[in-house]
Copies of this chain bind each other. A is one copy, B any other.
Amino acid sequence: MSLSLKSLYRLLSLLLVVAAPAGAQSIRGFTTSGVAPQREWEARYQQIPDPMRQREYLRRLSARPHHVGSPYQRQNAEYMRDLFTSWGWDATLAEYHVLFPTPKVRRLELTAPTRYVAKLQEPSLKNDPATAFMAEQLPSYNAFSGDGDVSGPLVYVNYGVPADYDELEKRGISVRGAIVIARYGGSWRGIKPKVAFEHGAVGCIIYSDPRDDGYAQGDVYPNGPWRPKDGVQRGSVLDMPVAPGDPLTIGTGATPDAPRIDRKDATTIMKIPVLPISYEDAQPLLAAMGGPVAPESWRGALPITYRLGGSGPARVRLAVEHDWKLTPAFNVIATLKGSAAPDEWIVRGNHIDGWVNGAQDPIAGMAAELEEARALGELARQGWRPKRTIVYAGWDAEEPALLGSTEWVEHHAPELRQKAVAYINTDGNGRGFLGAGGSHSLERFINEVAREVRDPETGLTVWQRLQAQTIRNGSPQAKREARERGDLRIGALGSGSDYTPFIQHLGIASLNLGFGGEDGGGIYHSIYDTPRWYETFSDSNYVYGRALSQVVGLAVMRLASADVLPYQFTNLAETLRGYAGEVKVLRDELSARAAETNRMLDDGVIAATEDPRAPLKPPAREALVPYLNFAPLDNAIEAFGRAASGYERSLGSALQRAPDGAALTRANAMLRDTERQFSSPEGLPRRPWYKHLLYAPGLYTGYGVKTLPGVREAIEQKDWDTVAREVTRLAQAIDRAATHVAAISAVLEGK
């Protein structure tokens, strides 16, 4: 510890003066008389989660490889089910039969100008026994790669996002018929083969450059946290921005007897073979390439000249073949029934499958979840009675395609639509600062919760430490807001973890939580994500595991027992105004860029600056960008803002009055449905599985969120007709939500 107690208390008092809301003793959603007993139970709760138990869970669950379908995973699921049961929960395993390809053939060879056969093997380490179970380890591969045996010239495509192909095109390089090599980073990995395929490539190699998570960052494992030369990042390349879950049962639960389409008709499986490799295997390939030198920002930390390749001399052969079998996945589902509103569900989950041993990802998060469950079970034994039903889940088969959560959500969709109040997700954990993303109707709520939990390194609240971090390292705007705005902003959710089916498919308000920012590393999805790595380089004493149990547990307890569900809508309205501003700026920027490109072409600036020894293809003339009608969106957001302010007034007086039970029940039922107002039955353009009109993963960013996705992506694609339609649809949804929130206010006011 580098801080003296005295300075800590000084900090604490200073920050509290700045940051504490008026009436710090109130709790959002609780009547005045309900606050004291809730605080009493919360205080008891916070004492229970135990770092040493989290260590025990993590060491147990990550001792051996435990991917979906593996024997150890089955044992883990049963072990956790039994733990839940022992703590008083009603626990079962929910079984689905999911398509889970595993590799039969993996071969990568440089065939010209010299020969090199890629090793494709991560060696075990003597001083980390968890890496020794080679027979149980999944080899390094990308799940839902296509099968194929292809040969071609090699082209380096940087991160492999669409903008990278623009740079290649300028230099006259096509990937048609080629095998691309992309580095990890810059986008979700599944985007890389998808975009490569769309540009005509026949295969895709993805490697981890040491600049990004290898020796350039620091010592490599086992001496340091970073990726060793043979380390490989496994991972899914299913087209999840179109639909996650089993590609044979999109939209329905993959129960053993579910109807399934033929695999050849599955749209989300990659069409070309894809293989992830280490930087030791990548270096001979990259070093053999010819063609123009790669742009400066494309260059990694290998001691070579990074080149774009293309016509030669480097050629490779890539062969990948899979066993396309159905595999049983076992979600752990544990329930603590609500006393007053058992049909209102608070759902909380973390996945339980790892690509290999998966200590950090996902078990560090599941260990926290287990301690929450033990603590809540203990409170229940002491007499605590949550009003609502609490459902704790351990999702299997998250890694290949969010399979466990998606199939369960699709399977129980009608019930969840009716009952689910909120979903809280974690996916691993680390050391540092609270990271929170989710529905902005829960922004105020999670800010309040974060003010209750202590950061283990400083003794400040996790809210205060996050505020300080934003002030110190944020953009000028983020810095100003962190100082002046009552709540710290939470990010919107794209994809990449199990909240996706809840929020994006069903419109259930969701949060994703975890600590991080002080623990870098390069063991992600490799055999080196082990208890030894985690305890040496991340949350060594599991104190951030305890903090995560405290944050999530408190959130669950408040959601489960609040008199009025603690949504809040003025923050959402303000956030929507910000998003609307962004899409307008996006249009203006596209417009200015098109005009500037055309002006430079007209004035001869492009031709005049050409280097005859390194000619670039001049940009094409661009169509002018029209002005667009955003008025319906602005009007709807204003209406929603008015309704949101009105709701705050109604709620305030209702909680002081303690309104009658029937009104509360009715209001809560309507509140639960508020997030659903932003869901559209038709879903988003080109991907009907995604229903939420405010948040989605980007079609070409993958995990990265696109807010107002229908509108924003249509602008990006310069599809002006779709923009007009999507503005209308979005405005209607926001108007609907405004009407709905106003109706809740009326109920609370007894009208």
Contact = CB atoms under 8 A, between A and B. Distances in A.
A517 to B, nearest CB: 9
A620 interface: no
Contact of A293 (B8, B217, B518): B217
A602 B13 CA distance: 11
A299 B608 contact: no
A18 interface: yes
A639 interface: no
Interface string A610-635: 11111100000000000000000000
A611 B14 contact: no
Nearest to A12: B604
A43 interface: no
B305 A215 contact: yes
Given A219-B305, A299-B301, A471-B600, A608 B458 contact: yes
A455 to B, nearest CB: 8
A606 B303 contact: no
A457 B603 contact: no
A535 to B, nearest CB: 13
Interface in A1-57: 1-3, 7-8, 10-12, 14-15, 18
A609 interface: yes
Interface in A282-327: 293, 299, 301-306
Number of copies of this protein chain within its complex: 2
Contacts of A610: 2-3, 458
- Looking at A302, A609, A615, the one whose CB has the most chain B CB atoms below 10 A away is A609
Given A604-B15, A611-B518, A303 B210 contact: yes
Interface stretch (A328-336, A370-378, A460-468, A689-697): A460-468
Contact of A611 (B12, B299, B305, B432): B432
A605 B465 CA distance: 8
A608 B464 contact: yes
A216 B472 contact: no
A473 interface: yes
A547 B546 CA distance: 72
B604 A10 contact: yes
B468 A608 contact: yes
A645 interface: no
A139 B608 CA distance: 42
A468 B218 CA distance: 43
Contacts of A608: 11, 15, 458, 460, 464-465, 468-469
A607 interface: yes
A484 to B, nearest CB: 13
A525 to B, nearest CB: 22
A613 B216 contact: no
Contacts of A603: 11, 14-15, 18, 468, 471
A293 B471 contact: no
17 contacts: A2-B615, A10-B604, A11-B603, A11-B608, A15-B608, A215-B305, A216-B299, A217-B293, A217-B305, A218-B305, A299-B301, A458-B610, A460-B608, A469-B608, A469-B609, A471-B603, A518-B611
Given A11-B604, A458-B607, A468-B604, 19 more contacts: A2-B610, A3-B610, A7-B607, A11-B603, A11-B608, A14-B602, A18-B603, A215-B303, A215-B305, A218-B305, A299-B301, A301-B303, A303-B303, A432-B611, A457-B612, A468-B603, A468-B609, A471-B605, A473-B609
